[in-house]
Structures are given as C-alpha cells and as structure tokens.
Amino acid sequence: MSINYTEAFIPHKKDQTIRGNLQPSTHSKTRNNLNGFQRMLIKANGTVTAMLEAYLSEPIQVVKLSENIATMKLEFPNIKLNSEEQVIARKVLLQGKMSGGNFIYADSLILINNLDERFRNQLLNTNIPIGKLWTEHKVETFKEIIESGIEPANELSNYFCIDPKENLLFRTYSVSSQGKINMIITEKFPESYFSPQVTLAS
C-alpha cells in the first residue's frame, strides 16, 4: 500500500482539521528478479540512510519537498490508531551529498504526540535523516513492513530523470517505539536503480 494523499496538505492552523483517507496504489507484487541490494531496501528493517551510504560510499542528505502539520484520519489494515491523529506530513528526497543524485523518494506521516519533543524539534528544523536521528537519540524502534510492490513513476519520474512509464519499487512500513506507532513511511526508488550496469541520475 503506497501512500497516496487524497487531499493536498496545507499549513496547520488552529482548530483546522484536514481529513484524508490513504488509498492503495494500483501495483503488482514485488518481482522475484530484484538484485541483492534492491531486495535489502525493500525487505530489510535497517535504516535506508545507512544502507545507501554503505552501498554508494558517500554521505546522504535530506532534501525536504514539503512538510506540514495537519490533523488527519488515518486508515491502515491491521494498525490501531486514534480516529484522528495530529501528524507531520512530510515528503523528502534522500540525496547524495557529493553526487547530488536523488536515490529515494519518501512520504512520511509522523505522529507528533508520540515523539519526544527534542527529537520532534530536530526533525522539523534540520535536514538530518530520520535514521540518523534515531541513532543520535538512541531510540529503540520496531519496524513492520505493511506492504511492498511496484508502481509507475508518473510525476515522480522528474526526480529521477526517468520516463513516467518506468516503474518504481516501494515499501510502506510502520515504526513503533515504546509500544506506540510514531511513523508510517513509504519509500520509493526506480526499478532500474542500484544495478552495476546503470548510471544513477544526478
């Protein structure tokens, strides 16, 4: 279930409620011919930032595309949430600091009330990747893959310099700490990426 917002997010105002159901993308299941690193990105529960830095031999930085505070109704199968949650709705790129290449697009729904205040402030006011903040704050997390699959790149193709009809691989997972879900994240990257024969976009 790739995250697709049914309403555009706008900056949070007092007493304002934005309701947006999350609907599944049309996609096929993840293919069996993924290479080893693609399979790690889709299935492993480690931090994507650390995996990318090890594979690419360069630091990874966050480029924020949008970040807004909203009150939303969230509906995910097999996940218990309040009827409405205050969230940070955030869209980012994970980008090579030296190459300038965009490697991952990520949609995050971050449940504000379940985050430590210092962690939340750094998340909002810095460009530190979420995975590095978890390490810095020594946050013990549990990740559960909700679904993974393949879908057309469409408008996201511009970030990766690929044709809109080319495919993206994606995974959606929840992140819990101290028994509470605090994030639901979808990460996407081109199916053609991370192959030894492919030159990545920059």
Asked if the model's pLDDT at residue 84 lies above 70, the reply is yes
Mean pLDDT of the chain: 77
Q: Which residues pair with 104 in a beta bridge?
A: 94
CA distance 38 to 194: 7
Asked if the model's pLDDT at residue 12 lies above 60, the reply is no
Percent of the chain surpassing pLDDT 90: 31
**pTM: predicted TM-score of the whole model, two decimal places:** 0.74
CA distance 144 to 121: 25
pLDDT in tens, 51-60: 999 999 999 9
CA distance 13 to 115: 20
Mean pLDDT for 30-51 is 80
- What single-letter DSSP state applies at residue 143? E
Q: Which of 67, 34, 53 is nearest to 95 (CA)?
A: 53
Asked if the model's pLDDT at residue 130 lies above 70, the reply is yes
19-23, 103-107, 153-157, 173-177: least confidently modelled range: 19-23
pLDDT value of position 23:
39
Mean pLDDT for 146-171 is 94
pLDDT band at 97 (very low <50, low <70, confident <90, very high): very high
Asked if the model's pLDDT at residue 25 lies above 70, the reply is no
Mean pLDDT for 61-69 is 90
Mean pLDDT for 147-175 is 94
pLDDT band at 76 (very low <50, low <70, confident <90, very high): low
pLDDT band at 154 (very low <50, low <70, confident <90, very high): very high
CA distance 99 to 129: 17
152-156, 167-171, 196-200: least confidently modelled range: 196-200
Domains of the chain: 36-190 (3.40.1410.10)
